[in-house]
Chain A
Amino acid sequence: MTRFLARRGLQSLLTLFVASVVVFGLLRLIPGDPAIILAGADATPATIQATRVQFGLDRNIAVQYWTWISALFHGNLGTSFSSRGPVSELIGPAVMPTLFMVLGGVLLAIVVALALGIGAAVPRRRGVDAGLTAFASVLYGAPIFWLALLAILLFAVELRWFPVGGFVSPFQDPAFGLSSLVLPWAVLALAVGGSLSRFVRAAFIEELESDHVRLARAKGASAWRAIRKHVFRNAMVPVVTVFGVAFATLLGGAVVLETVFTWPGLGSLMINSVNSRDYPTVQVLLLIYVVTFVVINFLTDISYSLIDPRIRLSERA
Chain B
Amino acid sequence: MTVKLSFPARIRRIALIAPLAAMLVLSACAGGGGQAGGAGGADSSFVLGQSAPINNLIPHPFTQSTMTWERALFDTLVTYDGGTITPSLAAHWNVDPASTRYQITLRDGVTFHDGKKLDAQTVADVLKWATDAKNNVSGGAVIGSGKVSVDSPTSLTVTFPTATPQFLYLLAVVPIVDLTSDINAHPNGTGPFKVDSFVANVSLKMARNDNYWNKNAMPKAKSFEVKVFSDNAAAQAALTSGQVQALAFPPYNQLSALEKAGDKIVTDKAPGNFMLRINTTSGPMADIRVRQALSLAIDRATFAKVGTAGRGTPTCSVYPPGSAVYQATFDANCKYDLQAAKALLAQAGYSNLSFTVDTSTVRQPELASYLPILQEQLKTIGVTLTINDISANLMSDRVLSGAYQVATDWYPWSNADPALLFISGSWAPGTRNLEKFTDPAYAPQVSAAQAEADPAKRMQLYRQLNEYLMDQSIVIPIATRPYVYVTGPKATGFAMDPLGMISPTALSAS
What chain A residues lie within 8 Å of B237 (beta carbons)?
152-153, 156-157, 164-165
CB interface residues, A 216-273, toward B, < 8 Å: 217, 223-224, 226-227, 259-262, 264, 268-269, 271-272
CA distance A275 to B32 in the complex (A): 31
- CB of A264 within 8 A of CB of B199, answer yes
Q: How far is the CB of A191 from chain B (nearest CB, A)?
A: 16
Q: Given A161-B23, A179-B32: A32 and B200 within 8 A (CB)?
A: no
* Residue of chain B at shortest CB distance from A163: B34
CA distance A91 to B64 in the complex (A): 25
- CB of A227 within 8 A of CB of B241, answer no
B395-418: CB near A (< 8 Å → 1, else 0) gives 011011100000001000000000
Query: Which of these, B3, B7, B228, B230, contacts A217 with CB under 8 Å?
Result: B3
CA distance A152 to B238 in the complex (A): 9
Q: How far is the CB of B348 from chain A (nearest CB, A)?
A: 30
Q: Is A20 engaged at the interface, CB distance under 8 Å to the other chain?
A: no
- CB of A32 within 8 A of CB of B27, answer no
CB interface residues, B 458-482, toward A, < 8 Å: none
A49-82: CB near B (< 8 Å → 1, else 0) gives 1110110000000000000000000000000101
Q: Given A44-B133, A165-B234: A37 and B241 within 8 A (CB)?
A: no
* Residue of chain B at shortest CB distance from A174: B29
CB interface residues, B 214-242, toward A, < 8 Å: 227-231, 233-235, 237-238, 240-242
What chain A residues lie within 8 Å of B229 (beta carbons)?
165, 262
- CB of A164 within 8 A of CB of B30, answer no
* Residue of chain A at shortest CB distance from B63: A40
CB interface residues, A 28-51, toward B, < 8 Å: 31-33, 36-37, 39-51
Q: How far is the CB of B63 from chain A (nearest CB, A)?
A: 7
Q: Is B103 engaged at the interface, CB distance under 8 Å to the other chain?
A: no
- CB of B3 within 8 A of CB of A223, answer yes
CB interface residues, B 186-225, toward A, < 8 Å: 199-203
CA distance A43 to B137 in the complex (A): 9
CB interface residues, B 138-195, toward A, < 8 Å: 138, 141, 184-185
Q: Is B26 engaged at the interface, CB distance under 8 Å to the other chain?
A: yes
Q: Is A98 engaged at the interface, CB distance under 8 Å to the other chain?
A: no
- CB of A162 within 8 A of CB of B393, answer no
- The B contact surface, by secondary structure, is loop
Q: Given A122-B4, A262-B229: A54 and B134 within 8 A (CB)?
A: yes
Q: Is B424 engaged at the interface, CB distance under 8 Å to the other chain?
A: yes
- Segment at the B interface, from A6-14, A207-215, A291-299, A305-313: A207-215
Q: Is B33 engaged at the interface, CB distance under 8 Å to the other chain?
A: yes
In this complex, how many residues of chain A approach chain B with their Cβ under 8 Å: the count is 74
* Residue of chain B at shortest CB distance from A179: B30
Q: Given A164-B234, A223-B6, A226-B3: A277 and B30 within 8 A (CB)?
A: no
In this complex, how many residues of chain B approach chain A with their Cβ under 8 Å: the count is 67
- CB of A47 within 8 A of CB of B26, answer no
CA distance A216 to B33 in the complex (A): 55
What chain B residues lie within 8 Å of A143 (beta carbons)?
none
- CB of A164 within 8 A of CB of B34, answer yes
CA distance A162 to B238 in the complex (A): 11
What chain A residues lie within 8 Å of B26 (beta carbons)?
162, 175, 178-179, 182
* Residue of chain B at shortest CB distance from A160: B32
What chain A residues lie within 8 Å of B240 (beta carbons)?
157
- CB of B5 within 8 A of CB of A227, answer yes
What chain A residues lie within 8 Å of B391 (beta carbons)?
31-32
Query: Which of these, A157, A209, A272, contacts B241 with CB under 8 Å?
Result: A157
- CB of B133 within 8 A of CB of A165, answer no
What chain B residues lie within 8 Å of A156 (beta carbons)?
32, 237, 241
- CB of B424 within 8 A of CB of A42, answer yes
Residues of A participating in the B interface, judged by any CB pair closer than 8 Å: 31-33, 36-37, 39-51, 53-54, 80, 82-85, 89-90, 93, 115, 122-124, 149, 152-153, 155-157, 159-166, 175-176, 178-180, 182, 205, 208-209, 213-214, 217, 223-224, 226-227, 259-262, 264, 268-269, 271-272, 275-277
Please provide the 7 A-B residue pairs with the shortest distance between their CB atoms, ordered closest to farther. A179-B30, A50-B134, A223-B5, A161-B27, A175-B29, A82-B55, A264-B202
